[in-house]
Amino acid sequence: MKMKLREVYSALKIESENIPDVEITGVCFDSRKAKTGDLFFPLQGERDGHEFINSAIEHGVSATIWQNDHDIPNNKIPYVTVEDVSKAFETLAKYYLRKVNPRVIAVTGSNGKTTTKDMIAKILSTSNNVAKTPQNFNNEIGVPYTILNMPTNTEVLVVEMGMDRPGQIDHLSNIASPDISVITMIGEAHIEFFGTRDKIADAKMEIVNHLHEDGAFVYNGDEPLLLERAEKVDQLKFKFGNHTSNDLYATEIVPGKTTTKFKVNLWPELDFEIPMMGEYNVNNALAAMLVGRISHIKPEAMQKALQELFVTANRTEWMKAKNGADILSDVYNSNPTAAIEVLHSLKDIKTGRKIIVLGDMLELGDAAKSLHESLASHIDPKDFAKVYLVGDDMKYLRDKLSDKYNSSNLLWYGKDQLSELTSNLQQELQPSDTILLKASHGIHLESVLHELI
């Protein structure tokens, strides 16, 4: 970013005669990360951002936004007075987006959006200057922040969009105005707030509400809910998935512990490889490859880009226990779709005895019982020797599995029994074992993981 403070005034449609000659080279809302050249936005969070303006000044910001219902500040640095800080943040983002004018790729989905964003950015960077959402900054703060901090020479901007309520994706896509909209899949994440997968699909489809007329929609063609809704989209449409009815699908998948190899229908002579496990990640790669194809990236360039991929936040991570056992850790996020995907991926890997530790999947509302029970059909003693379950809702899965497992191989713990769980795992775990730990963050299996490693 690079603009004079007077340009900020103009973008926000604020008239003033005495505007200091200050150059702005970035924006920030976290005073601890502020630096010289930044314009500070005191956004409202758990605390009022105006409380941190002095801290931002100490860190060297060049100017600050100030909401006019607060006391007038001192004049240590220039300030821009606005009626609403959040609206000013979004207005300036829209202005800067029009100024730089990159092609915008917007990505959402119940699972896989961060990985897919990284894959798209890696593929498109083979022939473009690409900026992307840092980490998972995918909400009303993260999307404007991503836009305002992209370099002035950005040719493609890849924006991740998350949601926890209806209308949120519409709002974010209005800010970003995408040229290509991508939906990775529809799962059960946040079903507590939406009620049904149909309503989740409706909310995800908001990503095409502000899609350019000459834009393109890339979506998972294996999902009937998306197929049905895509019929109403007038822009170009491209499908990926497992079915041969899709525009792009994998013809051969070779699973591995840390890599997955596959071929695709469009370029059968090429072998593709991604540095991560799981058929679900192949689907993420297919979505990115379709974006690459729309953007005229050669398949050989896509092949090389995917092989060299480094993802922002690969939550499913291989680690080593103190005794040498392999740990597949995903202790910060879980929902039924993600749990089933990782169970299938682990099942396909040739290794020694496999043990699984599953904690409650949160934010499932009235569907919690049936969705926890649904995991039972994906868990079998021939694949997983022992099952450890944690949390109130995992009682439902325990009851469903009780006809498959005897009591010594199927154990349940309350959320307050993590110390007992840890002790039992340490006694049970052998150096040749592979163990999966997966739960929503509220279960705090990270404490168990810490003791194991």
Annotated binding site for ATP: 109-115
Helices (H), 41-189: 53-58, 85-100, 113-124, 142-148, 168-176
Residue 322 C-beta-side C-alpha neighbours within 13 Å:
11
> Strand pairing of 317-320 and 326-330?
antiparallel
Of 310, 305, 280, 276, nearest in space to 291 by CA: 305
Would you say 372 and 450 are in contact if contact means Cβ atoms under 8 Å apart?
no
What is the signed CA dihedral for 269, 275, 278, 284, rounded to 10 degrees? -70
Would you say 341 and 278 are in contact if contact means Cβ atoms under 8 Å apart?
yes
Query: For residues 138 and 106, what is the distance between their CA atoms, to the nearest angstrom?
Result: 10
How far is Cα of residue 200 from the mean position of the Cα atoms in its chain?
A: 16
Helix H or strand E segment including 448 = helix 446-452
Token pair of 79, please?
Answer: 């300030």
Query: For residues 390 and 384, what is the distance between their CA atoms, to the nearest angstrom?
Result: 17
In degrees, to the nearest 5, what angle opens at C-alpha 101 toward C-alphas 30 and 99? 70
Query: For residues 54 and 31, what is the distance between their CA atoms, to the nearest angstrom?
Result: 9
> Strand pairing of 38-40 and 156-160?
unpaired
Query: For residues 185 and 284, what is the distance between their CA atoms, to the nearest angstrom?
Result: 9
What is the signed CA dihedral for 310, 445, 161, 147, rounded to 10 degrees? -60
Would you say 4 and 22 are in contact if contact means Cβ atoms under 8 Å apart?
yes
* Residue ranges of the binding site: 109-115
Per-residue DSSP letter, 189: T
